[in-house]
Amino acid sequence: MRKIKITILEMIVLIIILIVSVIGLKFKNNNSNNEIILKDEDLGEEIQIVDEVTPVKDANIFYSVSYTIDKYFSNLYVNDNFTEEEKKEKAVYLCNVLDKEFIKNEKISQNTVLEILKGYQGEFKFTATKMNQLITKNNYQTYIVKGILEKSGTNEYLQDCYFKVIVNSDNNTYSIYPIMQDMYSDISEINVSNNDNIEEIEKNKDNEFIILTVNDDNLIKRYIAYYKNMALNHTEMAYELLNDEYRNKRFKNLESFIKNTKQNKDVIDNIIIDKYKVEQYDDYILYIVVDIYNNYYIFKETAIMQFDLMLDTYTIDSEEFLKKYNNGSEQLKVGMNLEKIFQALNRKDYEYIYSKLHEQFKENNFPTLQSFEKYMQENFFDMNKITYGKFEEKSGAYVYEIEITDATETEENTIEKSFIIQLGEGTDFVMSFNK
């Protein structure tokens, strides 16, 4: 009887061991693709923790990755003036930085690389416009890059470009995988995973990954340069950069934006930053930039090169403006409203100023927007700078004497005008002035 009890006990132990082994085997099989699968017993459903692809928010990384593609394009360019030795140097460089899988798939060698990639050959300018990164659990980081390709010198838009740049942080190297642009319309469609087979990147004389340092000052200059290029050369793209609410309030349509951009062409072409302010928020960063003519460029950034843009502070009142305005004196409120008027005047936004004219004053002097626009163009400077003078209240309105000078300092004469402001509800106001 004792022997039978021992046998039963041994059988129970064997069953337990078998069950544990099966569970362990299942766990191993379930994780063969490097995904961790957890089971929530209460909810009775599986929760998968998978690879996370996120926008790049580090300017140093963004522009360092972009720099590798810049060098790639510069080495693609050859013409009949290049010697065979120079062409060979470029071919060697390209083979040293191209991803091994791409080389294998496209049957590339040093003898064929320039011929196979000749469709991209030319003096091109590449600008990265969007970049995602794969958060990895090893020493390789994968970056998916979208950018625009333009002809150098003319800035003629050619096409969107897509690349995969893989960085080996172990030996500080990288490889580039060009992606056919007609396969995708956005980088969000390009899938990357920790399960992707990444060929080992071996160090050579050309594939060192160089980390660039990009501070706020440098980043703002890059953003301004990008806006300037888009506004002057690709106006429809510049229109899409605008904040949705701002765009709908400030411009009726694309044609209105194009007209205003043409009117401000000289100002845009010669933007000189005077000052800027950086405001950090939980979900975004605000870069408030002011040029030497007191024109504003406000970038709301959620990731590097992922921003929407506002070109003034009068179309939409910011929280900072409202706080200052609501807590200010009557004189301060009138002054802030006049700042809006002259900001709009320097932006050639005559429609905004016209909308703020007192109805009787408008009816007596400027029955049409066209007549008002003509007067403003003939009686004010192209860029105006104001100095405040005497301030007083008269019959429920406020009178501010203003001295106006040429902000470009090309004209020496001074304009003196009195502006009459009537404050309304909230931040609303109407105005008139002596002609």
pLDDT at 196: 66
How far is 181 from 164, CA to CA, in rounded Å? Answer: 12
Coil, strand, or helix at residue 136?
Answer: coil
Q: What is the DSSP string of 46-100?
A: EEEE---EEE---HHHHHHHHHHHHHHHHHH---TTS-HHHHHHHHHHHHHHB-H
**Distances in Å between the alpha carbon of 223 and those of 56, 111, 128, 190, 236?**
16, 40, 12, 26, 17
- Tally DSSP H helices, then E strands, for the chain: 15, 15
Confidence category of residue 121, pLDDT binned at 50, 70, 90: low
Please tell me the predicted confidence (pLDDT) of residue 197.
Answer: 65
Q: Residue 79: its pLDDT value, please?
A: 84
How is domain 53-189 classified at the CATH fold level?
A: Nuclear Transport Factor 2; Chain: A, (3.10.450)
pLDDT score for 30: 40
Class of domain 330-433: alpha beta
- Which region among 184-193, 396-405, 416-425 has the lowest average model confidence (pLDDT)? 184-193
> C-alpha angle with apex 13: 12 to 16, nearest 5 degrees?
90
21-71 confidence digits (pLDDT tens):
444 434 334 433 333 333 334 333 433 334 688 999 999 999 999 999 999
Question: Cα separation of 301 and 135, whole Å?
Answer: 21
Least confident stretch, 22-26, 101-105, 133-137, 209-213: 22-26
Place 396 in a pLDDT band, splitting at 50, 70 and 90. confident
41-45, 213-217, 243-247, 425-429: range with lowest mean pLDDT:
41-45
Q: Note the pLDDT of residue 136.
A: 72
Q: Which tokens belong to 97? A: 């930085």
| pLDDT above 70: residue 8 | no
- Beta bridge mates, 23: none
pTM comes to: 0.84
**Inter-helix orientation angle 330-346/319-326, to 10°:** 140
Q: Where are the domains of the chain?
A: 2-49, 53-189, 216-310, 330-433
Give 167-224 pLDDT, tens digit per residue. Answer: 999 999 999 999 876 677 788 888 787 656 677 899 999 999 999 999 999 999 999 9
Domains 53-189 and 330-433 equal at CATH topology level: yes
Q: What is the pLDDT of residues 325-354, one digit of tens each?
A: 999 999 999 999 999 999 999 999 999 999
Per-residue pLDDT averaged across 157-175, rounded?
Answer: 93
